[in-house]
Amino acid sequence: MIFNAVIATVSGYLLGSIPSAYIVGRLKKGVDIRQVGGGNIGALNTAREIGLLPGLAVLIADVAKGAAAVLIAQWLGLPLIWIFIAGFAAIVGHNWPVFLGFKGGKGAATTLGVLLALVPGEFAISLAIMVIVIVITSNVRLAIIVGLAVLPLIIWQLNGSGMLIAYSLALFFFLGVRSLPSAREAMANISDKKRLIFDREYHFWQTKKNK
């Protein structure tokens, strides 16, 4: 089991380390995604700076990294705790990728992928809530916060295990800590605090509004 656990953990980290946004930015526009927009190596920055379809491609790829890490661990027949570790390794890989000098993104999409593979039914409800928040506010970051915050409650209501509830909470808090510096910067730079909820600059599909 130890050998399989190591394989799953290392595979998860290497999958997470694949810099999807960096690759797409280079291929599509020949730019380093770290040098444009907010500088984050993620789907949102890609959608806003490279284009909607490239952003969707990065989103799918980053979600797939997290889901694949969990599915590989499950396929290897590992206990739930090792499946959790493999999923977290993918998130760590995205945030600190070996292929980019250990400087990566926030890990939101990869976190979603991990949870999608672990609790697909409960995640579908959470995803629907995220979509509603995005349509109303155009605020993707807020939508992810709300969706991940309610997911443990959804798992609990659908009689999910305590371990799954605790793990989803842990990932939520980890993502929150990881995103805290950028959140503080946004709060400092926005004079109208309503913009922390309603994004007045972008449509909900994340292209800039005409002014």
Q: Name 202's bridge partners.
A: 208
The pLDDT tens digits of the residues spanning 83-142 come to: 999 999 999 999 999 999 999 999 999 999 999 999 999 999 999 999 999 999 999 999
- pTM (two decimals): 0.93
Domain count, the chain: 1
Q: Name 208's bridge partners.
A: 202
Specify if 207 maps to a domain.
no
The pLDDT tens digits of the residues spanning 6-43 come to: 999 999 999 999 999 999 999 999 999 999 988 999 99
Specify if 202 maps to a domain.
no
Burial 157-174 (b: 16+ CB within 10 A, else e): eeebeeebbebbeebbeb
Specify if 117 maps to a domain.
yes
pLDDT of residue 194: 59
Specify if 23 maps to a domain.
yes
Q: Which two tokens stand for residue 43?
A: 């789907």
Specify if 70 maps to a domain.
yes
- Give the residue from 141, 114, 143, 119 showing the smallest Cα distance to 130: 143
Residue found under tokens 């380093």: 32
Q: What is the rounded CA–CA span in Å between residue 162 and residue 22?
A: 37
How far lies 199's CA from each of 13, 130, 136, 202, 203, in Å? 33, 15, 10, 6, 8
Range of the domain at 105: 2-196
pLDDT of residue 203: 83
Specify if 211 maps to a domain.
no
Specify if 201 maps to a domain.
no
Number of H helices, E strands in the chain: 9, 0
Specify if 182 maps to a domain.
yes
